[in-house]
């Protein structure tokens, strides 16, 4: 119920901003772009998705070593749809990715281990990217102190996120899921789902620990790839601002994207960060010297990109589910013939 209320509050906030600036002014700014510009704006996000897929692929276990890259990309894109569209936030699609991997003979525990490791390396890369963006914002833009409150809030939040991430990595090396099971038992809370999967949880912890011990180069590689994916998203910021009339500056684009990532991350409890992300992007661009029309048009164009990838993700999900159903039918038929 709370999620639904936040969703409607976000929609209402976005409506008020659009009404305040003027729908016609926003339409005029967007209409001058044309279909070619919209297609060009999708190139950076395509790079971002591909690089992220590779960042996840290097964390996959031996059972997935022969899995084609395009299939990993399709599974990743399908999982991101759940992350973007459900109240589960930015982790809801991760178990789905592991489940879809099982359709290609990757054990569930192995798939979950890769998902946990990739999510961790992505978060580390995100923290580093936001820190880079804050540094650039203070150095290049914040001459009059207008970004002061945003920068301070971002630094505090990033410090907290860095601490949580470091604690999570430490916990993973000590057996996070086993610890979680034992903790629930100590406080007298027996969760049937966890209790029934004790051996799988212990196996998952062992697999994650072994990966960190013996695949450090892959961990660093995955972190680096996810950092590059954030840079690709910064390229999207540059392209959109350039098409909106600029001026487009590379370092400013990195700062804007980093602070935008921060805003999106801190409003994860709102489905799709609807409203909060858009209003945040509007005021962020104003702080960087762009007009209200450019700010809200920028925010809406990024929403357009999200909608495109949601559509692509739903298509990938439908195809993958269809294949899974076909595989199951084939097994059932073979079993019947064998009998």
Per-residue confidence in pLDDT tens, the chain, 339 aa: 666 676 667 677 777 777 777 778 777 777 778 888 889 999 999 999 999 999 999 999 888 888 999 999 999 999 988 887 766 556 678 889 999 999 888 999 999 999 999 999 998 899 889 888 888 877 765 555 555 666 666 677 777 777 877 887 777 777 777 777 777 777 777 777 767 777 888 888 888 888 888 888 999 999 999 999 999 999 999 999 999 887 888 888 998 898 888 888 777 667 667 777 888 888 888 888 888 888 888 988 998 999 999 999 999 999 988 765 555 544 544 444 554
* Sign of torsion over alpha carbons 145, 151, 156, 159: negative
Q: What count of Cα atoms within 13 Å lies in the side-chain half-sphere of residue 178?
A: 15
Q: Per the omega criterion (within 30 degrees of 0), is the bond before 247 cis?
A: yes
Enter the tokens of residue 257: 């994207």
Taking the C-alpha atoms of residue 228 and residue 36, their distance in angstroms, rounded to an integer, is 25
Check residue 328 and give its pLDDT.
53
Check residue 313 and give its pLDDT.
93
């Amino acid at each position: 119920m709370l999620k639904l209320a936040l969703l409607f509050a976000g929609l209402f906030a976005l409506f008020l901003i659009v009404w305040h600036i003027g729908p016609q002014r926003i339409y005029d700014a967007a209409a001058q772009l044309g279909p070619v510009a919209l297609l060009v704006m999708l190139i950076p996000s395509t790079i971002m998705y591909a690089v992220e897929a590779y960042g996840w692929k290097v964390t996959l276990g031996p059972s997935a070593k022969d899995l084609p890259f395009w299939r990993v990309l399709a599974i990743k894109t399908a999982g991101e749809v759940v992350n973007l569209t459900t109240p589960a936030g930015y982790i809801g699609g991760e178990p789905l990715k592991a489940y879809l991997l099982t359709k290609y003979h990757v054990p569930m525990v192995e798939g979950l281990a890769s998902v946990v490791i990739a999510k961790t390396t992505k978060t580390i890369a995100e923290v580093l990217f936001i820190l880079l963006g804050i540094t650039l914002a203070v150095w290049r833009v914040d001459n009059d102190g207008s970004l002061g409150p945003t920068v301070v809030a971002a630094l505090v939040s990033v410090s907290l996120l860095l601490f949580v991430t470091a604690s999570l990595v430490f916990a993973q090396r000590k057996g996070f899921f086993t610890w979680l099971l034992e903790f629930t038992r100590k406080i007298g809370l027996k969760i049937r789902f966890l209790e029934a999967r004790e051996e799988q949880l212990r196996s998952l912890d062992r697999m994650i620990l072994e990966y960190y011990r013996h695949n450090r180069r892959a961990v660093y590689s995955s972190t680096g790839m996810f950092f590059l994916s954030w840079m690709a998203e910064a390229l999207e910021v540059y392209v959109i601002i350039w098409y909106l009339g600029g001026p487009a500056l590379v370092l400013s684009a990195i700062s804007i994207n980093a602070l935008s990532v921060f805003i999106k991350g801190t409003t994860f409890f709102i489905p799709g960060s609807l409203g909060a992300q858009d209003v945040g992007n509007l005021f962020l661009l104003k702080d960087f010297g762009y007009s209200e029309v450019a700010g809200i048009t920028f925010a809406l164009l990024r929403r357009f990109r999200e909608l495109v990838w949601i559509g692509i993700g739903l298509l990938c999900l439908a195809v993958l589910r269809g294949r899974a159903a076909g595989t199951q039918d084939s097994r059932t038929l073979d079993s019947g013939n064998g009998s």
